[in-house]
Amino acid sequence: MKARSTAVAVAAADLETRERLIDASARLFAEHGFSKVTVREICRRARANVAAVNYHFGGKQGLYDEIVDSAIRTMQKTTDEIRKAGSGEPPEEQLAIFIRIFLSRVMEHRDGWIHQLMTREISDPTPALDRVIKNVQRPRMEYLASVIGQLLHCRADDLRVQLSVMSVQVQCLALINERAAKFQPFPLTPPRIEALIEHITKFSLAGIRALRR
């Protein structure tokens, strides 16, 4: 019985250490990027033995992969929410739902480590960016293309659809990108963000209708 209790305590301590490593490294990788963060620094922040990263993740790369996979799962939930909310709705409403949920979720977590990590991956990419594109960006853009294809009454691979997808994407990125946000003529308060979401939706729908005509 005593041996079993000891084993349970060790397993619980291992799990706690693992979670501290994930929490500490997520913030460090988001702040500084993969190449500039050391294992020693992660372990110091996580209050763990310097060998803990290798023990739990097989090394720094394995830990980073775990962090990226966690971010991917969170971002996939946003896409799933968009699909679910738009299910059965007309394409005009599906587009409005896409823009609203996507921007709302990103702005809600704009100061969080996932947004910072993805911004860093774009500016200083690692091989992990390919997984983000494959598992998050591509499925999300394919869904958006299917919605716009319905609005334009053409295939999702039509050039007009692809250009429209890019236009919607660029408008959204202009709102959530920190550098671009500096050029906003007003502070991004909640009411202003709401107004911008409405504007992007109306502007996009008007442009798509013009293309259809």
pLDDT tens, 42-63?
999 999 999 999 999 999 999 9
DSSP per-residue codes, 103-144: HHHHHHTTTSHHHHHHHHHHHS--THHHHHIIIIIHHHHHHH
Q: What percent of the chain has pLDDT over 90?
A: 73
30's enclosing H/E stretch is helix 2-32
Q: What's the full length of the chain, in residues?
A: 213
pLDDT at 180: 53
pLDDT at 7: 43
pLDDT at 183: 60
pLDDT, one tens digit per residue, over 96-133 is: 999 999 999 888 877 789 999 998 998 889 999 999 99
Tokens of 52: 């803990």
Residue labelled with tokens 């000891």? 6
Q: Please name each of the domains of the chain with its CATH number.
A: 1-58 (1.10.10.60), 65-212 (1.10.357.10)
pLDDT at 176: 73
* Residue 31 CB neighbours (<10 A): 13
pLDDT at 190: 81
What own/partner pairs with CB < 8 Å and gap ≥ 24 does 194-198 have?
A: 196/103, 197/99, 197/100, 197/103, 197/104
Model confidence band, residue 192 (pLDDT cutoffs 50, 70, 90): confident
* pTM, to two decimals: 0.85
Does 182 have pLDDT greater than 80?
no
